Amino acid sequence: MKKQKGQALILIALGIVVMIGFSALAIDGGNAFADRRHAQNAADTSALAAALAKINNQNWIQAALERAASNTYDDNGVTNTVDVFNPPLDGPYACPAANCNEYIQVIIVSRVDTWFARIVGMEQVTNRVQAVSRAKPWTPYYFGNAVVALSPGDGKNNTPELNISGNTIISSTGSGFFVNSSDNCAVDSDGNSNTLSTPSIDVVGTACDISGVPINTAQQVPYPPSYPHLDDLCSRPNAVQVSGDFPKNNTPANLPSNTIYCISGDFKVTSNNTVLNGSGITFVVQGGININGGTLNLSSPSSLPLFYLPYAANKVNNNNYNVTINGNTGMALKGMLLAPASHCKINGTGNTNPLKGQIICYTIDLSGTSDTYIVYDDNDNMDEPPQIELTQ
């Protein structure tokens, strides 16, 4: 029995060490984990603040540092450091990744003092967190192509989503064509003696009977599209509600500037006596568009389309609301035609007053017996709004 004296003290001492170890793990580890979570939230909000400032042409580094400081990470070099990089210093969004200059990386390194872990020589725990945001600027829709056929394809060959026909000149300047279909012969010419002049044709599938124009393989964009910034057009203060077709017999020749016309029927001009003039005009059309005659001198604001046929799921493959434009010397249209669920037929414009804008439809026919000229200038079209998002 005498030999066992003092063992209790040893066990108690070992127990105290173990308890201190568990306390260090619970308290110091908990503090470190809480700081890491707080630092990650600070990095996330700082990256988003920087992205917003970058889009607004403000000092995005200062915006990130100020947001981090408001979350107790003040880049003092002792307890924490905050670094901001554009493009990111490393990771999947660093150059040479696509659009790397749109991404902003925020790295926060924080040092947390320990309490119990000092006994074993660990005076601090270091956390390193990062966040990456994307600041996508104003960009032209669909890569800035003049003519865009959005249909992803019907799975059938030789049923082109962009069809070029007729003994005419088809010309686009400033930009080319984009065809979203993955089908064979997604863009096709009927083989007649039409002359096609455009910088390039970007197509997801294949092109048939096209010569003299560069053909590029494109990446398919999602369909159906989403344009949330246009959802409230008809509830804006400058919106005018029109019941039935437009224009009507009493519609003035000179339309008020900066007006949105919300038309429940068709936009229909079939008389050469019709005269419409207006700048900063947008037509939201629930029906279709038929322009065949008249004198139209219309332009849209830079932030909105000239014509918008809202997308509806029940319109795809079952849409009676189409767009037909028969150009004439009295027609001067400038701005985007956005009809993502409609078939559009452009039957010549002539080179006196070409279409100045961007044509975006589900499927497109460029045909007719007169020449079709489309002039693309980004300043004439609505751009896709800037976007910010947290990517990592």
Q: CB count, 10 Å around CB of 47?
A: 31
Between CA 259 and CA 256 the distance in angstroms is 6
Q: What are the phi and psi torsion angles at 330 (to 5°)?
A: -95, 5
pLDDT at 165: 82
Residue in 112, 116, 115 with CA at minimum distance from that of residue 18: 116
Sequence spans of domains, the chain: 9-137, 142-385
pLDDT at 1: 47
Beta bridge partners, 344, equal 323, 364
pTM metric for this prediction: 0.79
Going residue by residue through the chain (392 aa), what tens digit of pLDDT does each one get? 455 555 666 666 666 666 666 666 667 778 888 999 999 999 999 999 999 999 999 999 999 999 999 999 999 999 999 999 999 999 999 999 988 999 999 999 999 887 766 666 667 889 999 999 999 998 999 999 999 999 999 887 778 999 988 767 788 888 999 999 999 999 998 755 568 889 999 999 999 988 888 999 999 999 988 898 999 999 999 999 999 999 999 999 999 999 999 999 999 999 889 999 999 999 999 999 999 988 999 999 989 999 999 876 555 666 678 999 987 878 899 999 999 999 999 987 666 678 899 999 999 998 866 788 899 999 889 998 888 999 97
